[in-house]
Amino acid sequence: MYRGLSLAVALIVSLALAAGAIAQDQSQDDFNKRVEAWEETATRVEQALRDETISKATLDELRTEAVADREEAFEIIKDDSLEVRMLQAQLDALPDPPGENAEEPAAVTERRAELLQAIATANAPTLAAREAYNRADVLVSEIDGIIRSRFTTDLMERSPSPLIPTNWPTALGELFGYVGAVSTQIGTDLEKPENRTRFLRGLPIAIGLIVIAFVVLLLVHPWVTKRLDARALAADSPTRERLFWLATLMVRLVLPTIAGAAFLFAFKALAISPFAARSIIAVIASFPVFLVVGYWLGQLVFSPTVPAHRVVAMDDKRARRAANLCLALGGVLVAESLVEAANRDYDFAPASDAILSAIVVFAGSYCVWRLARTLIAARQAPADTPDGPITAETAPGVDFVFLLGRLMQLAAVAAAVFVVFGYVKFARQAMVPTILSLGAIGFALAIYLLLTGLSRGLLRGRRPEDVPIYSIVPIAIAFVVIAAALPIFALIWGARVADLLEIWILSVQGVEVGGTRISIGVVFILIAVFLVGMSITRWLQRVLDTSVLPKTRMDRGARKAVLTGLGYTGVTLSALVAISVAGIDLSNLAIVAGALSVGIGFGLQAIVSNFVSGIILLIERPVKEGDWIEVSGYSGIVRRIAVRSTRIETFDRHEVIVPNSELITGTVTNMTLSSKTGRLIVPVGVAYGADIEKTQEILLQAARDNDKIMSHPEPVVLFVGLGESSIDFELRCFLADVNTVVTVKSDLLLEIYRNLGQAGIEIPFPQRDITVRNVDALAEAIASQVAARASAR
């Protein structure tokens, strides 16, 4: 029985090993096929790149294949092999290799060689994938470079100047020829019975839709918006006023969209699709979109009818002008789309293309210039609003608007100048993105103001100091809006979707720094774990400060030192845990970090010295908050010990910032280090002839009667000298709280002065004896002067 069981177990083990070997062989075969596919794709891309006439579409297809191969290779690279880790652990368990003249056992040497060979074999797929990854990455970069180079060359292609009058008749003739060709083809198509039947069947529908569109635009839209604007202006609360304004914005978007859709469906109902205008028909749906968005953004940003919601502060006249210019810029985009589509449908001469493009560019430049002038004028002149006049100094964000206006003027002039000199494509590339960027900026700014308004509504009624994130919310919203708008601006200014995907792939896959791959995921984990650690640290500090430390006998300075030390410890541990969780290996950066630390130590020696001194102050506590100290010629109370410096408040209420290094290396007098007791010396002088014993008794009694003076050690009165005008005494006593030295001294002097006066003891003032020589001669001179004046009268 046992023998049969043993045979069964052996058979199962043999089958499992055989299955594992078969699976491993199959996996190796699959990987070899994948490597062959990578090689085939790379070879094909290399051969294609040698062909200078290859089209952009083919380049895009090859780039897609290379990117796919690169992603496959990266997946293999990032998945660390378990077998390799096990072999490496076994290799690390062996003794270190001996030196040049040392020997080791042959078994160890043989085992090390076997493990190294096994690691090399296990690492073969990873090495092959890394090679394929690098090769595909180079090919993708090369394709991107070729596409960008061709795009730049195409932009800088020069056409005949549109200002040459001899080319105007040709351009006009070609334009009429194109319109005639389209009209002829429409007529030819309508001659066919089935086309004419569809046209006549759809004509009433088209007319009805056009009538509906005009009714919506000319009657319904003005009536509804006017009533909603009146409700918004007459609203009795900010919430109702904001709701009516939002409703007006929705109406201004929905009703023109309905009218534009009606025009499009009317055109579709006519079933007119001449081949000569195929490109125009393909983009005709974008025409109402440009017009509606231009109109809506003008109303959103400049709000001609509700001044309180203008993103840019200006008067009503300028607001109406700016809104109309936004609609005109939408019309410029429609004209640009028409010219571009017509160029694809008809073979215009370069001179004709330059003239048609110049008309669009000049119109766009004029509108952009006028809009820029309006913004700059609003920057320089005050605008009246319901909340009062808004001037250039009080308008929010006005500097940004002024800068934007100057950039718009520069773009308008540059586009016009380039088109004059024949760089038509470059001028169009500068004009169209400028208009689209203005729309994106206006929309992003409106979104920012909307979100900040909502956040203020949610936090209404709460003081900023009670909400820690109160001041951070606008910054966070601005960061999110800018981050969301950056890809849009990149696409507007010529970036391809493939370029954005390349940036995203690079951020996700990361880059290797010192043998460690840093990616956006790693950075996110690092920041998230660090913030969690800091939150826990702040929570512990708050719990200790409010619940634990007040129940101990520690003074305020000691409690502050504990909280500060906990904060430093929490920051350090949070950073270490975050780095560990993110998987960042800093061992390869040890040498670099050491070199940087030496450089920082020399370059920031004073700051590092102050930092270390601050830590010493917190640990040894020779000075703590609330102490009365004298340092560097200043005397005052320590209010705060920071990392770099200590803040002292003098008795004149001045703030003195003392570097921590001076508190450690210099001489510091701390009046309250070990205790708050301190000695007070009050000098007193009495006149010669006064009763000395009575004077001493008065001084001692004044000290005994003051409850702020300690009874032990007892106060003493010392006879310290015989002065020029007085007999000098000193009253010496000790105070329980040296911080009261000024008030106690004042009280003692008042009491001593009153008691000395009652006892008849005089407090002297300085006396001087003056000796005058030749008194007789001086008297004779005075008498003669008096006699002379008397005779003169």
The DSSP-derived string for 165-234 is GGGHHHHHHHHHHHHHHHHHHHHHHHHSHHHHHHHHHHHHHHHHHHHHHHHIIIIIHHHHHHHHHHHHHT
| Amino acid letter, 613 | S
Using CA atoms, how far residue 143 sits from 129, 134, 496, 714, 770, in Å, is 21, 14, 13, 96, 109
H/E/C letters for each residue in 734-790? EECCHHHHHHHHHHHHHHHHHHHHHCCCCCCCCCCCCCCCCHHHHHHHHHHHHHHHH
The CA distance from 742 to 745, in Å, is: 5
663-668, Cβ contacts within 8 angstroms, sequence gap of 24 or more: 663/613, 663/617, 663/622, 663/623, 663/631, 664/613, 664/616, 664/617, 665/613, 666/631, 666/632, 667/631, 668/622, 668/623, 668/629, 668/630, 668/631
The torsion angles phi and psi of 684, rounded to 5 degrees, stand at: -140, 135
CB 538 within 8 A of CB 564: no
Predicted confidence (pLDDT) per residue in 453-487, tens digit: 777 766 665 554 444 555 677 788 888 888 888 88
Residue 607 or 18, more confident: 607
Task: Please count the residues of the chain.
Answer: 793
Other beta carbons within 10 angstroms of residue 97's beta carbon come to: 10
**Of the ranges 7-16, 82-91, 496-505, 665-674, which is most confident?**
665-674
Predicted confidence (pLDDT) per residue in 159-184, tens digit: 888 888 888 888 888 888 888 888 88
Q: How confident is the model at residue 126 (pLDDT cuts 50, 70, 90)?
A: confident
CB 212 within 8 A of CB 225: no
Taking the CA atoms of residue 682, residue 687, residue 689 and residue 691 in that order, the dihedral angle to the nearest 10 degrees is -30
Average pLDDT over residues 562-578: 84
- 3 state DSSP class of 684: strand
- 3 state DSSP class of 503: helix
Instruction: Look up the CATH number of domain 604-672.
Output: 2.30.30.60
- Mean of pLDDT over the chain: 80
Residue 101 or 566, more confident: 566
**pLDDT value, residue 15:** 45
**pLDDT value, residue 23:** 44
CB 185 within 8 A of CB 276: yes
The CA distance from 319 to 333, in Å, is: 21
**pLDDT value, residue 366:** 92
Instruction: Please give the radius of gyration of the chain, using alpha carbons only, rounded to the nearest integer.
Output: 45
- 3 state DSSP class of 257: helix
**pLDDT value, residue 11:** 45
Residue 645 or 391, more confident: 645
Crossing angle for the helix pair 520-543 and 497-509, to the nearest 10 degrees:
50
Burial class from Cβ neighbours inside 10 Å (0-12, 13-18, 19+) for residue 91 reads middle
Q: Which two tokens stand for residue 436?
A: 């689209």
The CA distance from 477 to 472, in Å, is: 9
pTM value is 0.61
Half-sphere exposure of 91 (CA within 13 A, CB side): 16
For 300-331, letters b (16+ CB in 10 Å) and e give bbbbbbbbebbbbbbbbebbebbbbbbbbbbb
The CA distance from 432 to 286, in Å, is: 14
3-state helix, strand, coil in the chain (%, to 5): 70, 10, 20
Place of tokens 């019975």: 193
The CA distance from 510 to 78, in Å, is: 11
The CA distance from 87 to 714, in Å, is: 83
Q: How confident is the model at residue 367 (pLDDT cuts 50, 70, 90)?
A: very high
Class of domain 678-758: alpha beta
Predicted confidence (pLDDT) per residue in 235-280, tens digit: 777 777 778 888 888 888 899 999 989 988 888 888 887 877 788 8
Predicted confidence (pLDDT) per residue in 59-80, tens digit: 888 888 888 888 777 777 766 6
pLDDT at 495 over 80: no
Q: Which two tokens stand for residue 293?
A: 């968005």
Residue 357 or 673, more confident: 357
Written as one string, the DSSP assignment of 551-571 is: GSS--HHHHHHHHHHHHHHHH
Predicted confidence (pLDDT) per residue in 297-344, tens digit: 888 888 888 887 787 778 888 889 999 999 999 999 999 888 888 888
pLDDT at 643 over 90: no
Q: How confident is the model at residue 2 (pLDDT cuts 50, 70, 90)?
A: very low
